[in-house]
Structure 1
């Protein structure tokens, strides 16, 4: 099995969790907060998708789905178009009030773009340095695993939060 195939399998597992979280969820559960400072399902799914879109587009040398696909306009969020959720306040989290279909559409478009990129990769591509601001510099393989790790954590948090919301 090629490394790209392993990455694709992992990406598909994230997709399964995201879809499970969003399937049949109501607006109240999407915006439920365990406390006043907590993240919401909507924010978590938006954030994990924005980070994936941002990081993969940068590594691939392409533009983000967020901009090219018109998602920024459709979401109508009160953030800069480059916002990915890092460092956002509790008020910012609460501002992500969009429906599951919109979240799923953006996630699916980003997932497809990511998978298309990963399918082009050979083994040597994963050793290419994509960010030299770190010591050691970050390779493409490390960046993709980082994105997957972040995605899995946030998708799991969203699944847990959905369960809390539905029991509240």
Structure 2
């Protein structure tokens, strides 16, 4: 397996967990918060997808699916276009209400774009610096592993919340 194959497989696993956590749930079930400080399935899936979309678009110098393909308008959230959910308040988490169809549609669109972006990645590409605001600067490899790790954690949290639903 090469780098591109490894990345494609990893992002595919995220997609599988997201689908398992979301499919068949109502809007109300997707919005359940098991604790006032906990995140809902809808927020977790929206957030992990926004992070993947934002970070990969930045790393590959392309426009985000969120804005390029009209997903921001379809969700109709009262956040700035650049919002990814990072650091949001309880009230903001409550604002993320979406259907399974909308959440999975956006996630699948980002997954498809991700697959296109990582398909040509070589081992040498992984050493390319994509963010100089950190010390040491962040390489493409580090950024991709970071997104995969973060997305899998949030997808697992969404699956856990689903398991707690009555």
In the alignment, is residue 13 of structure 1 matched against residue 5 of structure 2? no
Structure-2 separation of matches of 1:100 and 1:44: 12
Quote the RMSD (CA, aligned, Å).
Answer: 0.7
List aligned pairs for 1:46-85, cutoff 5 A.
46-85=46-85
TM-score by length of 1: 0.97
Structure-1 separation of matches of 2:53 and 2:124: 22
User: 1:135: how far off?
Assistant: 1.2
In the alignment, is residue 109 of structure 1 matched against residue 109 of structure 2? yes
Report the counterpart of residue 94 of structure 1 in structure 2: 94
Report the counterpart of residue 141 of structure 1 in structure 2: 141
Range moving further from structure 2, 31-40 or 142-151: 31-40
In the alignment, is residue 164 of structure 1 matched against residue 164 of structure 2? yes
Structure-2 separation of matches of 1:19 and 1:35: 23
List aligned pairs for 1:23-34, cutoff 5 A.
23-34=23-34
In the alignment, is residue 36 of structure 1 matched against residue 33 of structure 2? no
Structure-1 separation of matches of 2:50 and 2:27: 20
TM-score by length of 2: 0.98
Structure-2 separation of matches of 1:36 and 1:59: 34
How many pairs were matched up?
A: 166
Cα deviation 1:132-164 (Å, max 9, x = unaligned)? 111111000000000000100000000000111
For the residue of structure 2 that corresponds to 1:130, the secondary structure is strand
Structure-2 separation of matches of 1:90 and 1:4: 38
Structure-2 separation of matches of 1:34 and 1:117: 36
Structure-1 separation of matches of 2:38 and 2:52: 22
Runs of 4+ in 1 over 3 A off after TM superposition: none
For structure 2, which runs of at least 5 residues remain unmatched after alignment?
A: none
Range moving further from structure 2, 21-30 or 72-81: 21-30
